[in-house]
């Protein structure tokens, strides 16, 4: 296991390295939570590849800067470390929401409200109808949630995690500095 893999993002903090030393990547809450391993494997992209500046992050520009993304929810919403804190990164807006001062606080918040923070009820419903979520796949909204798309399985499509982030990065850049309620014209380069 190469924990120096994310050196360009300040290295892997000790608290994250400790978790990865115990369990090097995993899926939890019926695959609603995906915690990335250090290195690529058959069931997951690794931290280095996921945080590559030439991967999906390029679509977000400054919105994703200084973040070390270590996990994702069933919709591809990211969990990241930035400035020594744990944040939730919305893939549709690029907004960060503070979840904890440490990974321990993040884990406690996750356990208190895993249904909301991971999308577990929808992940469960999807899998009851369609079978297990394949590795590296997330449920991406056809109509983005931020544009009024419903949180229902009828509005979701199975998509590779990286592609899901790329297509929503375009949207996030377009709306990142708009005030709430401002009209937008959705321009897409790649369809959902």
Q: Is 90 exceeded by the pLDDT of residue 178?
A: no
Picking from 171, 174, 144, the residue whose alpha carbon sits closest to that of residue 156 is 144
Contact (CB, 8 A) for 47 and 70: yes
Picking from 70, 83, 84, the residue whose alpha carbon sits closest to that of residue 33 is 70
Q: Is 80 exceeded by the pLDDT of residue 34?
A: yes
- Residue 33 pairs in a beta bridge with 28
Q: pLDDT tens for residues 129-149? A: 999 999 999 999 999 999 999
Percent of the chain whose pLDDT exceeds 90: 77
- 95, two tokens: 């907004």
Percent of the chain whose pLDDT exceeds 70: 89
What is the structure's pLDDT at 186? Answer: 64
Q: Is 60 exceeded by the pLDDT of residue 75?
A: yes
Contacts of 72 (CB under 8 A, 6+ apart): 33, 34, 36, 78, 79, 138, 161
What is the structure's pLDDT at 5? Answer: 46
Contact (CB, 8 A) for 74 and 32: yes
With tokens 């200084």, the residue in question is 66
Please indicate, yes or no, whether the overall pTM of this predicted structure exceeds 0.75: yes
Picking from 93, 96, 95, the residue whose alpha carbon sits closest to that of residue 82 is 96
What is the structure's pLDDT at 161? Answer: 96
Q: Mean pLDDT over all residues of the chain?
A: 90
Q: Is 60 exceeded by the pLDDT of residue 91?
A: yes
With tokens 């020594």, the residue in question is 84
Q: pLDDT tens for residues 55-70? A: 999 999 999 999 999 9
Instruction: Using pLDDT thresholds of 50, 70 and 90, give the confidence band for residue 11.
Output: low
């Amino acid at each position: 296991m190469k924990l120096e893999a994310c050196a360009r993002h300040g290295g892997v903090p000790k608290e994250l390295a400790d978790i990865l030393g115990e369990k090097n990547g995993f899926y939890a809450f019926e695959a609603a939570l995906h915690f990335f391993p250090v290195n690529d494997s058959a069931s997951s992209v690794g931290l280095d590849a996921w945080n590559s500046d030439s991967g999906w992050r390029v679509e977000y520009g400054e919105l994703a800067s200084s973040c070390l993304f270590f996990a994702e929810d069933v919709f591809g919403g990211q969990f990241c470390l930035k400035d020594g804190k744990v944040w939730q990164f919305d893939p549709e807006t690029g907004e960060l929401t503070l979840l904890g001062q440490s990974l321990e606080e993040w884990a406690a918040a996750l356990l208190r409200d895993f249904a909301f923070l991971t999308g577990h009820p929808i992940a469960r419903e999807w899998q009851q109808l369609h079978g297990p979520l394949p590795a590296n796949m997330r449920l991406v909204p056809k109509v983005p949630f931020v544009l009024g798309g419903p949180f229902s399985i009828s509005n979701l499509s199975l998509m590779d995690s990286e592609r899901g982030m790329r297509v929503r990065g375009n949207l996030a850049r377009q709306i990142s500095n708009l005030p709430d309620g401002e009209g937008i014209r959705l321009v897409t380069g790649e369809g959902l």
